[in-house]
Structure 1
């Protein structure tokens, strides 16, 4: 049974908000400082955990993936946009007025009245490459609002926000199913709405009509449509255009603000279907860019501040100081994409404690990236090129979390006795271990084109071995390689024929010919004797 937050009304902060229960039940408008404190999520690294064995510390390191969010100017802009959209959308939906019921009645005409979408659509968008942290940021901002509020004096259940994922198949039915499921989850009503409205005979128009009516009934303050770029898949069938027109009509009819979240592919949808670019940016379309290294304030770039905070999350026994070289190195490999940088840092740290050398070196970062994040190497190379033609080829930089955790676990030692003592020669003072091993392999006759790959593989398999042990390991691998088998030619056994009496095969003659020979032997029948 769901327990809804009881409405607690505050004094209106501006005149327009006076006498609006749906607005006055919301928390106070945040200052930039309040927003930063709301969004900021920094995991705790306790001294007690640092003293734990490596195989336990690796579990604590998962907080880097799950619990780190550093607020930036883009987060502040997003919070202000969402705050304004929710409140502006509620201005014409006052449950204390009699006109509120009239607004509910107008939803019945929503689908029929599709010729004029109007110019007052309460729509905005957050567009950026996958992995940049858009959805995480939106969820962090929405966490500052109670999702469901009960207005007992009005017998009204208010849903402040609802986040719906655009279906992968971009169909109207799938979108409506996702909407009703999200609604059922928010209200904890055991799938009531999905069972009631999603039926085999329900067509698209019926579902969209129910969608609009239920959204108005529960006074949804903000509808977030995530992964909006999926609609691009149905452009040829005009389904995407129909859905986008429906959203605009929804905002015009019941004043429901809609926030689209997606990748740059979504830009191709907005211009033709929304009829005007401002329909996707009335509250300021937010381009969720990658971190940049430009210092405009004199206090360091966004990347500098972000990575400095991330770098503090070390479960090393002796924390490694941050250097410009390391900062630049991670920028090169992540190209300023937050999710990639966080993932790479987590994987490097788990690998370092696993092999017993608690240092994140240049070689380690390169090996981890090439081994664990090889699936996004083409995308990163495209970003490094700076060419729009190449960047547009790769729209998705998402890295599945399950594969990250599993990948980090592969290199875990079986037990504590298998852990190196930390005195191995992973990083040489004058020349890295990898470079030395490559040189030794080339001198031993390994081609310079494959020597680096062989050396990297050996280091991954035997990270605690010395250079000579690594050479022996590689040599053993070479010796154990099975030689390519040579197919033996099958011996053809010559069979001796078994002749019988009066065998025709023995009647062949090169002198008189086969016919004459067979005739003389009486084998050929004389037809003249029977005429």
Structure 2
């Protein structure tokens, strides 16, 4: 009976839509990454042997970013994992000695730490390929920026088809700007290496994407899926997903004589679960276990109510909030439901990239180039307050250049400024340096150019012990 908790999956229309989304992301992401192309191998070699800023030279078109946002317990992660398992995770190409990772799923750490997320990434790659990237790249002194560069190089090296980041709402907990840093990195990763990224999270994750229009579009560039709980209307129809889901679940009874399904029982489960699939499956499993232990092998209203009251007491406040239908009560729990206003904003953001907008004399393409250039400059270590000014200046001086040429132009200007600053600094007079002060038996005076003479001098002064006297 425990298999019900982990292996039961009832496919719905949302599962089909999610499969089409993931399939499109993988295939579109691989369009410009042909391992047989010479340019691809040159780029791989460049990424593998240079610093993190070198990966920006492969910048392509808009990022392949999408998101699945929904109430906790509705089966988002289960659905994504089931779809990913339909693809082979690792494929070895003997003709090119290339090991390809079709998909990689990484769970965001609870503390929202950038370094922890990078560690989870390397651990997931090691589990899939049997490599030792975690031991190679995860060091106590490794900075978050260096580890992000290593993540980019490993992603390019193994041609990751789609990178799935689960529990993305945990980034909100980071106090060191980790959320903005990671979101900028993921967008840069998709722009540069063409690795599609799929975010999975609860409604709390919407707070990460809504502060600005640009960050909000990150989660909607390839479409965003609202993964809600089952819905139910007063006029119950035979084609409702909740009814079909529950009928399929009810068949999984390990009794000698199965308990018949009634509308009363279906209404009772809806009352106690409010359409959340995980809670419905857990309540059904626990009720069946209680019936077997009691030796009754039958599920009735009294048994289900007792199980709900005793073993699912922790979810009572959340279920009561959903049962009330009041939005202000539901919003007290960040993992429950997506606010209607957030859905309206998200829908508008998905449509916005397809609608031409006039912003003075600047075009959408120029805005996109400026935003991507600012992201790259921030990743290079330029302050977020200075990066927009530097990007504007570079675009004015080199309006016809591509992204890589603009980055090279900015680096050249920076190097020239540093050289000028060094030349402007007054040279220190060697005569002003203090002469060294020696003490008795100073080792600097005892040391000789000849190692043997130095050893004898140290030995005569008692600094080196004569071991022959003790043998």
TM-score (norm 1): 0.60
Task: Pick one of 342, 367, 374 that aligns with 2:306.
Answer: 367
For residues 292 and 237 of structure 1, the distance between their equivalents in structure 2, rounded to whole angstroms, comes to 39
Work out whether residues 161 and 195 of structure 2, in 8 Å CA contact, stay in contact via their aligned partners in 1: yes
Secondary structure of the residue aligned to 1:237 is coil
The structure that has the greater radius of gyration is: 1
Work out whether residues 274 and 280 of structure 1, in 8 Å CA contact, stay in contact via their aligned partners in 2: no
Look up the match of 2:4. Answer: 64
Whether 1:77 aligns to 2:29 is no
CA shift in 2, pair 1:124/1:196, >3 Å: same
Task: Describe how 1:454-465 pairs up with structure 2 within 5 A.
Answer: none
For residues 173 and 300 of structure 2, the distance between their equivalents in structure 1, rounded to whole angstroms, comes to 43
Secondary structure of the residue aligned to 1:158 is strand
Secondary structure of the residue aligned to 1:88 is helix
For residues 295 and 186 of structure 1, the distance between their equivalents in structure 2, rounded to whole angstroms, comes to 47
Look up the match of 2:188. Answer: 249
Task: Describe how 1:253-332 pairs up with structure 2 within 5 A.
Answer: 253-272=192-211, 275-294=214-233, 299-332=238-271
Whether 1:157 aligns to 2:99 is yes
For residues 298 and 127 of structure 1, the distance between their equivalents in structure 2, rounded to whole angstroms, comes to 27
CA shift in 2, pair 1:383/1:297, >3 Å: closer
Task: Pick one of 207, 216, 224 that aligns with 2:147.
Answer: 207
Per-residue CA deviation, residues 487-513 of structure 1 (Å, 9 max, x unaligned), is xxxxxxxxxxxxxxxxxxxxxxxxxxx
Task: Describe how 1:282-431 pairs up with structure 2 within 5 A.
Answer: 282-294=221-233, 299-396=238-335
State the shift of 1:294 in Å.
Answer: 4.2
Look up the match of 1:185. Answer: 127
For residues 73 and 295 of structure 1, the distance between their equivalents in structure 2, rounded to whole angstroms, comes to 21
Work out whether residues 128 and 262 of structure 1, in 8 Å CA contact, stay in contact via their aligned partners in 2: yes
CA shift in 2, pair 1:316/1:283, >3 Å: same
Work out whether residues 122 and 257 of structure 1, in 8 Å CA contact, stay in contact via their aligned partners in 2: yes
Work out whether residues 203 and 335 of structure 2, in 8 Å CA contact, stay in contact via their aligned partners in 1: no
Whether 1:87 aligns to 2:27 is yes
RMSD of aligned residue pairs (Cα, Å): 2.2
Task: Describe how 1:16-27 pairs up with structure 2 within 5 A.
Answer: none
For residues 337 and 132 of structure 1, the distance between their equivalents in structure 2, rounded to whole angstroms, comes to 5
Per-residue CA deviation, residues 323-371 of structure 1 (Å, 9 max, x unaligned), is 1111111011000000000000111111122222233222211111010
In terms of mean alpha carbon deviation, does 217-226 or 277-286 score higher? 277-286
Structure with the higher fraction of residues in helix conformation? 2
Per-residue CA deviation, residues 10-64 of structure 1 (Å, 9 max, x unaligned), is xxxxxxxxxxxxxxxxxxxxxxxxxxxxxxxxxxxxxxxxxxxxxxxxxxx2122
For residues 213 and 101 of structure 2, the distance between their equivalents in structure 1, rounded to whole angstroms, comes to 26
State the shift of 1:289 in Å.
Answer: 0.5
User: What is the total number of aligned residue pairs between the two structures?
Assistant: 332
For residues 185 and 276 of structure 1, the distance between their equivalents in structure 2, rounded to whole angstroms, comes to 32
Unmatched segments (≥5 aa) in structure 2: 337-471
Higher relative contact order (CA 8 A, sep 6+): 2
State the shift of 1:274 in Å.
Answer: 7.1
For residues 172 and 63 of structure 1, the distance between their equivalents in structure 2, rounded to whole angstroms, comes to 35
State the shift of 1:390 in Å.
Answer: 1.9
Task: Describe how 1:11-160 pairs up with structure 2 within 5 A.
Answer: 61-104=1-44, 105=46, 108=50, 111=53, 120-160=62-102
For residues 176 and 125 of structure 1, the distance between their equivalents in structure 2, rounded to whole angstroms, comes to 20
CA shift in 2, pair 1:186/1:279, >3 Å: same
CA shift in 2, pair 1:388/1:295, >3 Å: closer
Per-residue CA deviation, residues 231-265 of structure 1 (Å, 9 max, x unaligned), is 0112x532210110000000000000000011100
Look up the match of 2:168. Answer: 228
Work out whether residues 245 and 274 of structure 1, in 8 Å CA contact, stay in contact via their aligned partners in 2: no
For residues 256 and 266 of structure 2, the distance between their equivalents in structure 1, rounded to whole angstroms, comes to 21
Task: Pick one of 201, 219, 222 that aligns with 2:159.
Answer: 219
For residues 15 and 235 of structure 2, the distance between their equivalents in structure 1, rounded to whole angstroms, comes to 18
Work out whether residues 269 and 280 of structure 2, in 8 Å CA contact, stay in contact via their aligned partners in 1: yes
TM-score (norm 2): 0.67
For residues 356 and 63 of structure 1, the distance between their equivalents in structure 2, rounded to whole angstroms, comes to 21
CA shift in 2, pair 1:376/1:119, >3 Å: farther
For residues 266 and 395 of structure 1, the distance between their equivalents in structure 2, rounded to whole angstroms, comes to 9
Secondary structure of the residue aligned to 1:380 is helix
Whether 1:173 aligns to 2:115 is yes
Work out whether residues 344 and 369 of structure 1, in 8 Å CA contact, stay in contact via their aligned partners in 2: yes
CA shift in 2, pair 1:185/1:88, >3 Å: same
